[in-house]
Structure 1
C-alpha cells in the first residue's frame, strides 16, 4: 500500500468559523506531501490560495492543490502529521470555549478529522499524529541541511507550545533535546513587543530589522539591559511595565501605523536589533559549548531575521550553518510530516529545493489572460529570458513568473519582481509605485555563484545562500554601483542562484550581465503590501493592473497594460474574507475584513460602489476611480461580468 504522508500547519477551523481566535494562534497554515520514500513532493502555504496573509484557516486549498498537482486521490493519503502537540491544541481551543458558549465543544483531534473528511481524506485515528511544535521545526531544518554529522539544532520563535527556544543535538539520525527556554522567557516575544511599540503589529518584525540600520542603538542600550536582562540559563526577563515607562521617560513619541518614523524610532529599532543579535548569539554559544558541535541548523520565526543570521555566520562559532527557507510555522508542517513518517533524514543528496508549489500550464495562463482582456495586451516572447534581460537593461521593472511556486516567504526567482540593481532610485520606484510600502525597506540582490564572490563578502561559516537567509557586507567598491540593493549600512540580503536548481532564472541573470556588465538583479516578492505573494497567473496579472509594473513575463508570454482603461465589461467581486455591510447608525456602507480578528479592519465605500457589489452590475465611470483604489488595496476584485476568479466569492 502507498504511504503518502500529509503534513499540516494552521488552525482546525474553517475560515468562516474561527470564533474570535486571535491571529497569533495557529498562523502560517500550510500543507506538505511526502512520497512513500520520504521525498518532499509538495509544499505550499494556504495564504497563496486564500489571499489572506499569515492565515490561520485550515489549509484546505493547499491540500487540494497539492493532490491535484501530484495526481493523487484522497485515498492515497494514509498518514497525517500536525504541527502542535494535542494537549496544547486542546488547551488553546478551551480558551475559546470558555468565552463562547455558542461554539460546539470539539477536541482538536475531532476537528482535524472533520476538516480532512471534508476533503474526502479518511485516516485511522492512530495515523493522525500531533507533534511537538519545536520538534517539528527541528526535523524540517535538519532534513533540509542534509547533514549526517553531529549538529546543534536551535529553534527560536515567539512560542511553540510550552517553549520559546529549544536546542537539540542531532546525532545518528535522532534529535535529543539539550536545552530549552519556557514561553515567558521568549526572545521572539520580546522582539514582537518592541515591534508593537513602533506602531507595527504582530508579523511585522522583519520591518523593524530593515529600519534598524538607520538608527543609533546607544540611545536605548541601557534601557533594554534594565527592562529585558538576559542570560543563557534564564533567557529573557522582560519587565513590560518598566519597558513602557522607560520609553515614555526617553521622550518616546507614540506612532500610529501610517505615521512617519522619527529618529527616536530608528534608534529604538537599532537597539532592539542589536539586543537580539547579542543575546541570541550568547545563548547559541552556550549550547555550542555544551554540545561541542561545529554545525548549526537554525529555525523558528526568529531564524528569518537575516541580519542575525549574518552575525551567526561570521561569529566564528561554527564551521557550517543552515537556515531553512521556511523557518516560520509553515515549515513546521514539513517537520510534522517527517516525524509522522518516522525518519527526518533526506532520501536525496541534492540540496533542499524550495520550488514545491503549483506549476501552471498554457491553458491556465490563457484562461487568466482572457479574464482581463481588453485591459491587457499579450504576445508570445521569442526568447523570454533575453527579452526580460533587455527590459531590465532598459530600466524597466518587470514581474517574472515561471515554474513551481516557492515554499516560504522569499521570492527566489519564480514569483519575483525584478529590476536593475544599479540606480539607487529603483529602490524607491519599487517600494512606492509597486510594493506600496515604506521607503526604507531594502531589496535583495540575486546573483550567480561567480557574482557572489565578486560583489559580496561571503566569508565565515559554510552555508547556502540560495534562500536569502543571510545579510552580508557588499564589497565597498560595489556599494554605489549596486545602489538599489545595497542597504544604508553597506549590506545586502543576497541570493545566489544555482544553474541546476533554477536554470531559467540563472540564465536571466547571465543575459542581463551580458547587456549591463553586472551579474546581479534586484529581486523581491511579486505582490504589493496588501496581499501575500502571487500564486496564480490571475494573481500576477492583477498586480500588473494595479501597480506600475512595466511588464509581466508570464512563462513564455509578455503581458502589458493596454490603452483601455474602461471597466464597463467588469463587475466587482469580494474576496472570501471581505463582507459588505450596511450600518444603520452611520447610514453608510462598509467593507469588513473578517480575517483580521485581532486588528479591526474596515473601509467605508460609496453607495454607488456598494450597489455594483450587491447587484453584480457593470462598473460605471462614476465609480471607476474608487474601484481602482479598492482593487489596489485588495478590498475587492475586478472580474468580467458573468465570470469568477479563483479565490473569490460573491458579496453577502
Structure 2
C-alpha cells in the first residue's frame, strides 16, 4: 500500500524530518544542516520542506504526519486555563517561546491520547497539509528501537534496547523479538503515565560532560575520548548510585536532575579530567553490561539492536559486541533524536499493517545518503567563485598525490549523509601516517577533540587493518563502533589510533561511493597504506556542510587545501 508518510521530531535538540513512500525511505534531514544552528530543536518546517522537495512532493501530497510527543506549538493545546493559560501567554508573548511540552498535558488530562488535548488537525491545516491528512503521535523509545529490527531483514531474533536522557517518561526501553513476535518488556506505552523515575545513565553522562565544562547533548564524545587517558579511581563511588535488578532494569538513587548534577560536580573535585572521565565511562560500561547480561539471560537472542544517545558511545558498543557471543550488533546510524522521524514512520507502518506484514517489508538500510544531491550544481558553483581555481588534475589521481604530500582535502559528492557521522559525501580526508596530522586538523578546523580522527578503509581491506568481524561489520559501515587496530598497523596509521589501540573505522563498498572507494584504492597503491583519515566536513561547533556555498567557504577560509568532486579538483586561486 503506497502512502506518503512524513516523520517529524521537534524537541529541545536534534529536530529532523524523514519521508517514506510506503516502506521506502526517500529522504531524511536534520534541521541543523539547513539552519546552520548546531543541534537545532525548533519545529522543523525547513527540514519538512526539504525532504518533500527531494522526493518531488509538497505538503498537499502527504497522507500521514507522525510527530514525537515533545515540544509542540502552543496554540494547538486544548483546555489551557487559569494559571496554565497565563503561563503560556508569558512564555509565548514575553519570552518568545511558542512551544510547550506534551508530557505535562498527558498527566494533567490522564491520557496518552493526544487528540484529547491537542488539536493536531488545526496544526496540520495551518502548516499547509491537505484536509484529512492523518496525524499520529509515536512513542519516543519505540521509534528509537524499531529501525534496528526493520533494517536487519535476516534477523530471526533480537534484543532491542534503547537508552538516552529521556523520552515519553522513561530513559530506557527493552523489547524482545522471537518466533515472529515482538514483545515489549519495558518502556512502551504501558509506562507513559507512570510516575517518572530518574535512573538515567544518559543524564549522568550528560551531567559529567557539563561538569567538565563541555556542552551536554553535544560534547559527550569528549568525555569518552578523555576516559582512555585516565584511571577510574572514583568509579566505585559513582557505581554505588546505580544498580541493575534481576530483569535488567537500571535504577539510581540520584532522584532528580538537581541531585544528578550536584553529585557529578562533587565527584570531579580533586580529580584530573582524565581520571574523572575514566570513572564515568567505567560506570556506564559496567552498568549497561550488567543490564544486557540479565536481559539476555531472560530474553535469549543472538542479535542486538540499540539506539538512543547512550549508544553514540562507541567504546560501550564495542564491549557489547565482544562480550555476549552475539551474531551481530546493529546501532541505527542516526542513534540520537534526529533518528526519531524514521522510527516514528516505521511505528505508524507497524500499526497500519500489523507485525507479520511489517516484517515481510524489512530491508537493508544501505548507505544513508538521504539529503539533497548537489552533484549537478557543485562544480558550477565552485568555478564561479573568483578565488577558487579548478586544476587540471584528474580527481582521484590529484587527490591521492595531494594527500600523500600531507595536504587536507574534502570530498563533496552526492547526497548529504543522515545522522552524526560523515560517511564519504561530506568528508575531510588526510594522510593517517603521521601523528601530527591530528594536531594539524584540530588547528585548521578549530577543534579541540581528545579522540583521534576516525579512519576509513575499503571493504576489501578493512579486515586486514582492523578487527572486523561478522558481529561488528555492518556497524562499521556506519562508523558507530570501536574496534581494535591490528598490531602491525598501529604505527603505520598513527593519526587514527587511540591510546588504547582502538579506532572507530568506516568500511566503504565501492557500490556505495565510487569516488571515495577509488581514492582509497589508489592511495594504497601509492603509499602502501590501506586507510585514510575521515572526519566530518565541518568546522568545530558547526553542522556538517550541506550546500556548495558552505563547501566553498571552507576552502576559501583555508580550512582545507582542496575539494574534490566527481568532475574535478579545486584549490584556492
1:237 counterpart (253, 270, 274): 253
- Corresponding residue SS for 1:427: helix
User: Is 1:175 aligned to 2:189, yes or no?
Assistant: no
- Corresponding residue SS for 2:535: strand
**Structure 1 residues 65, 167: CA separation in 2 closer, same or farther (over 3 Å shift)?**
same
User: Is 1:529 aligned to 2:540, yes or no?
Assistant: yes
User: Is 1:266 aligned to 2:274, yes or no?
Assistant: yes
Give runs of aligned pairs for residues 290-439 of structure 1, distance below 5 A: 290-342=298-350, 345=359, 347=361, 349-363=363-377, 365-367=379-381, 369-370=383-384, 373-379=385-391, 383-434=394-445, 436-439=446-449
| Aligned equivalent of 1:585 | none
Partner Cα distance (1:96, 1:188) in 2: 30
User: Is 1:70 aligned to 2:42, yes or no?
Assistant: no
2:506 counterpart (492, 495, 501): 495
Deviation at 1:416, TM superposition (A): 0.3
- Corresponding residue SS for 2:373: coil
Mapped contact 1:400–1:416 kept (Cα < 8 A): yes
Give runs of aligned pairs for residues 159-170 of structure 1, distance below 5 A: 159-170=166-177
User: Is 1:556 aligned to 2:564, yes or no?
Assistant: no
| Aligned equivalent of 2:112 | none
- Corresponding residue SS for 2:19: strand
- Corresponding residue SS for 1:353: coil
Count residues in correspondence: 531
Partner Cα distance (1:355, 1:249) in 2: 42
Q: What does the per-residue CA deviation read over 1:44-103, in whole Å, with 9 as the maximum and x for residues that have no partner? A: 111111111111112222222222222123332111111337999999998996644243
- Corresponding residue SS for 2:291: helix
Deviation at 1:385, TM superposition (A): 2.2
Deviation at 1:268, TM superposition (A): 0.4
- Corresponding residue SS for 1:356: strand
Give runs of aligned pairs for residues 526-605 of structure 1, distance below 5 A: 526-562=537-573
Mapped contact 2:465–2:486 kept (Cα < 8 A): yes
Gaps of 5+ in 1: 12-24, 253-262, 563-652
**Structure 1 residues 304, 469: CA separation in 2 closer, same or farther (over 3 Å shift)?**
same
Gaps of 5+ in 2: 103-114
Partner Cα distance (1:437, 1:170) in 2: 42
Q: What does the per-residue CA deviation read over 1:176-216, in whole Å, with 9 as the maximum and x for residues that have no partner? A: 21134955111111111111111112221111111111111
**Structure 1 residues 41, 223: CA separation in 2 closer, same or farther (over 3 Å shift)?**
same
User: Is 1:157 aligned to 2:183, yes or no?
Assistant: no
Mapped contact 1:421–1:520 kept (Cα < 8 A): yes
Partner Cα distance (1:473, 1:91) in 2: 51
**Structure 1 residues 86, 410: CA separation in 2 closer, same or farther (over 3 Å shift)?**
closer
| Aligned equivalent of 2:89 | 101
| Aligned equivalent of 2:459 | 449
Deviation at 1:368, TM superposition (A): 5.5
| Aligned equivalent of 2:111 | none
User: Is 1:279 aligned to 2:287, yes or no?
Assistant: yes
Q: What does the per-residue CA deviation read over 1:428-485, in whole Å, with 9 as the maximum and x for residues that have no partner? A: 1111222x11152321110012322111123573541101111111112211111100
TM-score by structure 2 length?
0.85
| Aligned equivalent of 2:495 | 484
**Structure 1 residues 341, 83: CA separation in 2 closer, same or farther (over 3 Å shift)?**
same
Deviation at 1:543, TM superposition (A): 1.6
Tell me the C-alpha RMSD between the 2 structures.
3.0
**Structure 1 residues 517, 115: CA separation in 2 closer, same or farther (over 3 Å shift)?**
farther
**Structure 1 residues 173, 73: CA separation in 2 closer, same or farther (over 3 Å shift)?**
farther
- Corresponding residue SS for 1:314: helix
User: Is 1:57 aligned to 2:32, yes or no?
Assistant: no
Mapped contact 1:39–1:347 kept (Cα < 8 A): no
Mapped contact 2:206–2:216 kept (Cα < 8 A): yes
Deviation at 1:233, TM superposition (A): 3.5
| Aligned equivalent of 1:193 | 207
Partner Cα distance (1:511, 1:115) in 2: 53
Partner Cα distance (2:545, 2:264) in 1: 42
Mapped contact 1:294–1:319 kept (Cα < 8 A): yes
Mapped contact 2:78–2:119 kept (Cα < 8 A): no
- Corresponding residue SS for 2:494: coil
Mapped contact 2:71–2:99 kept (Cα < 8 A): no
User: Is 1:121 aligned to 2:109, yes or no?
Assistant: no
User: Is 1:211 aligned to 2:211, yes or no?
Assistant: no
Deviation at 1:317, TM superposition (A): 4.2
**Structure 1 residues 351, 323: CA separation in 2 closer, same or farther (over 3 Å shift)?**
same
**Structure 1 residues 166, 378: CA separation in 2 closer, same or farther (over 3 Å shift)?**
same
Q: What does the per-residue CA deviation read over 1:193-249, in whole Å, with 9 as the maximum and x for residues that have no partner? A: 1111111122211111111111111x2122212344555334233266597468658
Deviation at 1:427, TM superposition (A): 0.7
| Aligned equivalent of 2:108 | none
Mapped contact 2:562–2:571 kept (Cα < 8 A): yes
| Aligned equivalent of 1:33 | 19
| Aligned equivalent of 1:5 | 5
Partner Cα distance (2:417, 2:18) in 1: 13
Deviation at 1:30, TM superposition (A): 1.1
Deviation at 1:347, TM superposition (A): 3.5
TM-score by structure 1 length?
0.75
| Aligned equivalent of 2:32 | 47
**Structure 1 residues 43, 383: CA separation in 2 closer, same or farther (over 3 Å shift)?**
same
- Corresponding residue SS for 1:405: strand
| Aligned equivalent of 2:106 | none
